[in-house]
Amino acid sequence: MQIKNSKTTVAVLLTSVFVISICSILYELLISSVASYFQGSSILHFSIVIGIFLSSMGIGSYISRFIKNNLLDWFIGFEVVLSLIGGFSTFILYFAFSLTPYFYLFTFILITSLGVLIGAEIPILTRIMTPYEELKDALAKVLTFDYLGALIASIIFPLLLLPMLGTMRTAFAIGLLNLTVAVINTYVFKRRLKYPKRLFSLSGITAIALIIGFIFSFQINRLFERYMYNDQIMFSAQSAYQRIVVTKWNKDIRLYINGNLQFSTRDEYRYHEPLVHIPMTLTNAKERILVLGGGDGLAAKELLKYDDIGQIEIVDLDPEMTKIAKTHPVFTKLNEQAFSNKKVVIHNEDAYKFLEASSDIYNLIILDLPDPNNTSLGKLYSHEFYGMIQKRMAAGGVLVTQSTSPYFAPKAFWCINKTLNAVFETTLPYSAYVPTFGQWGFNIAVNSPHLPISIKRIQDGLDPDLNLQYLNSEIIPGLFHFDGDMEESPVEVNRLDNQILVKYYEQSWDKMR
């Protein structure tokens, strides 16, 4: 097909720019997300990926000035190579994390390669268009379509691609989209290419590899996850927010979210019993209980042991997690079908936004949240957030929050305690030993300046008829004792504008690696 119409030529090239832009932003988002899944600290990894990607694009743009002939051949060749590297990007990252100690090296090489290729393409495309458009018009149109593609990519990645396809299949899908640009351009401009047959052959081989990867992406994902988790994978799912994996070894069932262990059935009761029953001994009324997090239903199970309890509201961001907890046989057995109980109401919302919009008053608020390993979670441990919670608490109402490990992350633990102290006059820290995790911490606050928290009151208030596996009145005093290596550290209050807690948390756990 000979291109005689300059408008057709420009239209094909601008469409290519649009698709390339979508793919390039998707690669950035995908690599950043996978790196955050494996290594935590989402802001750090997104910042590094974007920084390296953009600087590599600058290098690619500079390199493009040395390409003087056969611009269409070079452009299409770059697209084919880009589709291959980008399509296998998640595969490469899973391989690097699961089977090598060089995850960051692989990530750096991957980002740099993609950035250089993408950076070289835009100047080359602009130069290809200049015979048909003035430079100022060509550049303006190229950048317009480039920025528009970036907008589309940023919308479809979290809303469509990630929840529907998961990270592995999304990468192969983006690679195929990239390759489509190469194939269309090869076909449309074949009479102007020096090596059309080679480009068609290379595209065909790449397409076969990407299609095979796309078809078997779930199997590939499970294969790498077996190396990551060692135990048998019973269930795995990718939601819009996180990767959920459930493993089993003998009788031990474990839940992982984004590669981080959430609980083990061997000892989860050592976490959930202190989290729930200690504050319940201080709660004067049980009409309305709010649980922020707790999407596995295990905190709700403990609350439902009280016959006189009223309504329990669960606020968990991820509908996939609460759906699994409500319907999957493994979870319904573990949580004793807590989410099917009429007393339990589930809200799939962001906890911060839920409290902002709420006008309800609660007798007990339980924060069963993930550790503050990024700023999205860190805000749920902030001075401002605790202030919002206080407004939703009844007089004499009780707040309890899991507070990470006072042994492994003492500054993070005492930062949460100090932040609570900045809002509530009555607070008390405590901890329990959970073999899977080590010493684990909690903090209680009471919404009354005239109601001190008495350990004797907690002992006397624990109902022996609950038949708990771990918690009893004899061990309660020991929960409030902190050994010398867990004593309070000098820390700052965690606020939205400093997010110091995330820094404390990362520093503490980095030392353990």
What is the residue whose two structure tokens read 């110091």? 500
Beta bridge partners of 261: 256
Tokens linked to 31: 């690599």
**Could you give the C-alpha distances from 185 to 79, 130, 176, 254, 446, in angstroms and in order?**
10, 17, 14, 49, 67
Q: Identify the CA nearest to 335 among candidates 297, 295, 294, 289.
A: 297
d(CA 38, CA 41): 9
d(CA 178, CA 183): 9
The identity of residue 335, as a single letter, is N
Selecting among 368, 460, 483, 510, the annotated active-site residue is 368
Provide the pairing of β-strand 243-249 with 232-238: antiparallel
d(CA 351, CA 417): 20
Q: Identify the CA nearest to 163 among candidates 221, 240, 236, 235.
A: 240
Instruction: Give the full edge-to-edge strand order of the sheet including 232-238.
Output: 232-238, 243-249, 252-257, 260-264
What is the residue whose two structure tokens read 């950048």? 143
**Which SS3 state, helix, strand or coil, does residue 67 take?**
coil
Question: Is 463 marked active-site?
Answer: no
HSE-up (13 A, CA, CB side) for residue 213: 26
DSSP-assigned states of every residue in 69-118: S-HHHHHHHHHHHHHHHHHTHHHHHHHHHHH-S-HHHHHHHHHHHHHHHH
Report, as residue numbers or ranges, the catalytic residues.
Answer: 368
